[in-house]
Amino acid sequence: MDVIVVGAGITGVAAAEWLRRDGHDVTLIDRLAPGDAGQTSFGNAGILARAAVVPVATPGILSKLPRMALDPDKPLFLRLSYLPRLIPWAIPFLRNSTPARVAAIAEALAPLVTDSVEQHLALARGTPAAAMITQGPYLLLYRDREAYAADAASWALKRAHGIEWAEWDRAEIEAHDPAIAAEFRFAAAMPDHGWIASPARYVAALAAFFTEQGGHIREAEVVDIRPSESGGASVTLAGGEELSADRVVLAAGVWAGRLAARLGHKIAMEAERGYHVMLSNPSHLPPSPIMVEAAKTVATPMADGLRFAGVAEFAGIDGAEAEAPVALIRKQILQLFPGLTWEGETVWMGRRPTTADSLPLIGASPRAPGVIFAFGGQHLGLTMGPRLGRMAAGLASGGGSNLDLAPYRVDRFQRA
């Protein structure tokens, strides 16, 4: 078949490559080159978070939100001028924070993330991108065991889905990385995780291999998408050019919402913005990634230095970058590694496609069966990208899925 994939982040590149391996003629379209700094895939924490089965909304979040939004030391930033536009998403988001819904969402997240390391290895095998995957432990740091115990519900969900970890005291933390601040006296160390040495170069290397093996990439903006009478679909590029295909895979992250709306879909999805500060030539690199649980900030050793990534800001897709999230990350750098020095730094902001139920949209559009949706990976876009891309490729090729796709239905927000 002739297949068009819209979106050249990790999910779109994975879908395009798996479709090419299936023997199809594939064109990957994005207004940005794979690995460009404007891609959300560019600036994530680089973690293959196979234990991330807990949804974004959890029980008790409603009572915590006002304090988090008003406290400059908390990892949530809300631009008040954006609040009226956020409410249609926030209401179903909060409804999904009940214990029953959290358990059901975790059940649906688990098959998308728990084999993430294997999915990345399968996608990258035989390509230069494979050298950028590192495997090892992932530490979640707490100030003490009591703070860890307060997260018992989240850890119970992880255990229910086969995640294992070791409980480390201060001596074990120091044995792993003596540079970690003394105030952190407890850690949950999860084995069998992975991380990417350079997310930007990783996606670019996968895309380069795709073209070397016969795939096609076009740098163009897709402004419309429509079903065709033949059962396929067409896309319209900025400037008016129209391209037709037997199948179109929509994998454009948060920007996919605008194109899905052209097909009549209503999707409860927000641009949950995250930031990173990349330190070049730091005086110390941890041996593996670390999350400071209270701050929701991750420190990841990478090829170009040490990346600190995290926080959540709600200001829309097009809102200007803010200084406050960056200031908080800079503060947390020295809280984790006192005495750390570095020669330079770069700052980045990206837009996570976060749905109201923390689940992606996977499957054919009932309004356009030739269009396959594969977006909405929230904080886990890099983690689940190869899995979503592979599933989308299978669906586009006419195959089924070994998963029940009901939790990821592309029309579920209209049905609700």
What pLDDT digit, counting tens, does each position of 109-154 carry? 999 999 999 999 999 999 999 999 999 999 999 999 999 999 999 9
Percent of the chain scoring above 90 in pLDDT: 93
| β-strand partners of 216 | 27
Give pLDDT, residue 415: 64
Using alpha carbons, select from 113, 37, 36 the residue that is nearest to residue 382: 113
pLDDT score of 273 more than 90: yes
Quickly count: other Cβ atoms within 10 Å of residue 118's Cβ.
Answer: 15
Mean local confidence (pLDDT), 336-350: 96
| Class of 2-415 in CATH | alpha beta
Place of tokens 């939790």: 407
Q: For 387-415, what is the mean pLDDT?
A: 93
Residue 142's contacts (CB-CB under 8 Å, 6 or more residues apart) are 148, 151, 184, 185, 186, 187, 188, 293, 294
- Does the model's pTM come out above 0.75? yes
Average pLDDT value over all residues in the chain? 96
Give the DSSP per-residue string, 109-160: HHHHHTTHHHHHHHHHTTSGGGGGEEEEEEEEEESSHHHHHTTHHHHHHHHH
Q: What span, in angstroms and rounded, lies between the C-alpha atoms of 51 and 368?
A: 34
Query: Which position has the token pair 């379209």?
Result: 29
The residue-averaged pLDDT of 204-220 equals 98
DSSP 267: -
Domain boundaries defined on the chain? 2-415
pLDDT reported for residue 165 = 98
Compute the Cα dihedral for 60, 61, 65, 71 and give only its sign.
positive
pLDDT tens for each residue of 226-269? 999 989 999 999 999 999 999 999 999 999 999 999 999 999 99
How many angstroms separate the Cα of 276 from the Cα of each of 30, 54, 336? 23, 22, 15
Q: What is the pLDDT of residues 67-118, one digit of tens each?
A: 777 777 788 998 889 999 999 999 999 999 999 999 999 999 999 999 999 9
% of the chain beyond a pLDDT of 70: 100
